[in-house]
Amino acid sequence: MGFFSRELQNVIEWTDAKPDRLFWKWNNDEIKKDSVLIIKPGQDAIFMYNGIVEGVFEDEGRYEIQSDIIPFLSTLKSWRFGFTTPLRAEVLFINTKIIQSKWGTKSPINLRAPGLPGGMPIRCFGTFEFRIDDHDALIDQLAGVRNSYGAHEVHDFIITRLNPLLMSWISKEGRDMFNLQADALNIGEGIRTELDMKMRRLGIAITAFNIENFSYPEEVMQMQKKVAGQSMVGDINKYTQVSMADSLGKGGSGANLASDMAGMQMGMMMGQQMAQNVQNQSSNENTSANAPSNSKIPNFCPNCGAKTNNTHFCGNCGHKLI
């Protein structure tokens, strides 16, 4: 950083080659009266002297120090009175663009699931976006002690805090453990809000947090497909027995069988839920169509005394029995 040829010795500009920097500090050369400041698109320049902000320049372009910059500086009197001596002031360049970064779970998140002591392991991935929002907080927390700060450092900060946030917001917003994608928008917004509160202390705003996909163990996905199909035709318990026999018949080892059983148990939860819904709907229809009568038919007609033979009307006199 800060290596200039003699011809460009008095040019003040961002020369850091890494495009994902959030800020970069120019502080290796003296600022003289013939110096030129160059601000590129997506940048701000902040003049600092002895840790104090002298001026903030936000419009892109080329500026002459003596004619364009000095009138806006606050306390550097030696600058305004002819530059009798060069100054070693600092210029902090700020990246004002929104930066997007990808994220993914380093290890599976184990969600609570009935019948699974270890929980249901899932992974997920997506993107998040951020930008510098507060110059003062950035200078106070980061730029005061560092010469640069990169997007990868924001990424690492967020990744280390991601799994607990995912577990918390999945528990709050996830209505169906096997269809979390339907609630991805609400889960992502909750995580964005918490991360934004943490990062704003550093002057950085989290503007978006998107969950692109939730992924389940492969055996669970396969069992889900099998159980979903089986649940449409009936006996889940029979399917379990047949699947176990099929695994043993193919020479499955104890370890494979245990893995299959774990996947089957997770898949069974989905199938049983679907089957229960179908059964409840059918039961409700049958109940409404064949509702039993609360009235009991008498053995003998109360009008004529003839035997009723369990009919609604007396066969001898026609009297209505119920």
Predicted local distance difference test score (pLDDT) of residue 41:
93
Q: Is 93 exposed, middle or buried (0-12, 13-18, 19+ CB in 10 A)?
A: buried
The pTM score is 0.64
Region at 51 (left for phi over 0; alpha for psi -120 to 50; beta for the rest): left
Contact 22, 44 (CB under 8 A): no
Predicted local distance difference test score (pLDDT) of residue 138:
92
Architecture of the 99-216 domain = 2-Layer Sandwich (3.30)
Predicted local distance difference test score (pLDDT) of residue 32:
77
Distance CA 145, CA 48 (A): 13
Predicted local distance difference test score (pLDDT) of residue 44:
94
Q: Which two tokens stand for residue 121?
A: 């392991």
Summarize pLDDT for 268-298 with one digit per residue, the tens.
666 566 556 556 655 655 554 554 445 677 7
* Tens-level pLDDT at each residue, the chain (322 residues): 333 333 445 788 998 878 889 999 987 667 777 888 999 999 999 988 777 888 888 999 998 877 777 767 766 655 555 556 667 778 999 999 999 999 999 888 888 877 777 788 899 999 999 999 999 999 999 988 888 999 999 999 999 999 999 999 998 898 888 789 999 999 999 999 999 999 999 999 999 999 999 988 877 777 766 766 666 555 556 556 656 666 666 665 555 655 555 566 666 666 566 556 556 655 655 554 554 445 677 776 777 666 677 777 777 777 777 7
Distance CA 241, CA 219 (A): 17
Summarize pLDDT for 117-141 with one digit per residue, the tens.
778 889 999 999 999 999 999 999 9
